[in-house]
Amino acid sequence: MDFSIAAILAQDGITSGAVYALLALALVLVFSVTRVIFIPQGEFVAYGALSLATIQSGKAPQTASLLLVLGLLCWLKEMYAVLRKTASHTSTPNPLSGTLISGFKLVVFPLALWGLTRQFAMQDWPLVVQVLLALMLVIPMGPMIYRLAYQPLAEASTLVLLIVSVGVHFALTGLGLVMFGAEGSRTTAFSDARFEIGALTISGQSLVVIAVSILLIAVLYFYFERSLSGKALRATAVNRLGAQLVGIGTIQAGRTAFTLAAAIGALCGVLIAPMTTVYYDGGFLIGLKGFVGAIVGGLVSYPLAAAGALLVGLLESYSSFWASAYKEVIVFTLIIPVLLWRSLTAGAHDEEDEV
């Protein structure tokens, strides 16, 4: 291997590692706040990429219909809870007022998006608008899925939440096959520019991916350090019971964490769609590589998770050159020494001790 090949592989590894780093940060965020190992993270990657591809092909994305159904289910669940409180005479005055406001967010907004996607030829819209529309269709699914699948089991054990995650993953994968079909898709590149640095050619798309990843990581840093809701998320991650005692709503923190995770996943899908063909079930493998990076960080440390994800990207890139048939095996084998090291260095831990 000469220097030019090594540089090309490093470029590919850094580009992939930037995407894996974002997914690793999302997985660490969700786990630290809600104790959920968010296996369906990869489905948001696939949904974001394929929704954008559907828009660019001139068709109405079926994610709009799924968003509307999820919103209706969430609203009906909320209505049922209000009616139960009213029947038990424990409700506050005007209990339906808050439900009507929720109905606007959960039903009216998805209905407006559903109508928009069926009335206009979106393939002629500017690329930025297409991306924003795809993100608007996918991101609200995060908190909706939390409301339906995870919120009722918020105090359950980590094992139960893991089983629920597996079920949600299979459900979203099956829905992805129904909505997008088995054929893969690509989207229009954000940039066709190419820059020559000696023997190395750097694509504009790779620079866009790296720049957006760095920008998003910086935004997340300032969000957690400077904003009130970000500090509330950090407090919930440090001590869930303590956060409840000081008045931080852990349910709202969970919804916020899932919203951020869905946003990161959908954005990653939009970023990688011009560089690789995305299939309805392809997001799982991408999310799993982000999970390897999160494991390196112990599902706790954001910097270590990002560094681990970058290592995964570089390892995958160089493995594809030396042993392409075994590159996935090599990447996922990285989990074994990390878990072994953590099991030997970490003390005994009982989940009940946290309560």
CATH number of 3-56+151-345: 1.10.3470
**For the chain, what is the total number of helices (H) and then of strands (E)?**
16, 2
| Residue-level pLDDT, tens digit, the chain, 355 residues | 667 778 788 888 888 888 988 998 898 889 888 888 899 999 999 999 999 999 998 888 999 999 999 999 998 888 887 777 777 665 555 555 566 677 778 888 899 999 888 888 777 888 899 999 999 999 999 999 999 999 888 888 889 999 999 999 999 999 999 999 888 888 888 888 787 776 677 788 888 888 888 898 888 888 888 888 888 888 887 777 787 777 777 788 888 999 999 999 999 999 999 888 899 988 888 888 888 888 877 667 778 888 888 888 888 888 877 877 777 787 788 778 877 877 777 655 544 444 4
Inter-axis angle of helices 250-272 and 3-34, to 10 degrees?
Answer: 160
Average pLDDT over the chain reads 84
What pLDDT does residue 90 have? 54
Closest CA to 180 of 275, 45, 23: 45
Distance, CA of 113 to CA of 127 (rounded, Å): 17
Residue 51 Cα distances to 80, 243, 291, angstroms: 32, 37, 23
pTM value is 0.88
What is the Cα–Cα distance from 350 to 353, expressed in whole angstroms?
A: 6
At residue 185, φ and ψ (nearest 5 deg) are: -145, 155
Cα 211 to Cα 194: distance, rounded to the nearest angstrom: 15
For the record, the structure tokens of 254 come out as 């969970």
Backbone angles phi, psi at 58, to 5 degrees: 85, 15
- The tens digit of pLDDT for each residue in 299-349 reads 677 788 888 888 888 888 888 778 777 777 877 887 788 778 777 776 555
CA dist., res. 186 & res. 265, Å (int): 17
| End-to-end Cα spacing for the chain | 54
Question: Which pLDDT value is given to residue 97?
Answer: 59
* pLDDT tens digits, one per residue of 25-69: 898 889 888 888 899 999 999 999 999 999 998 888 999 999 999
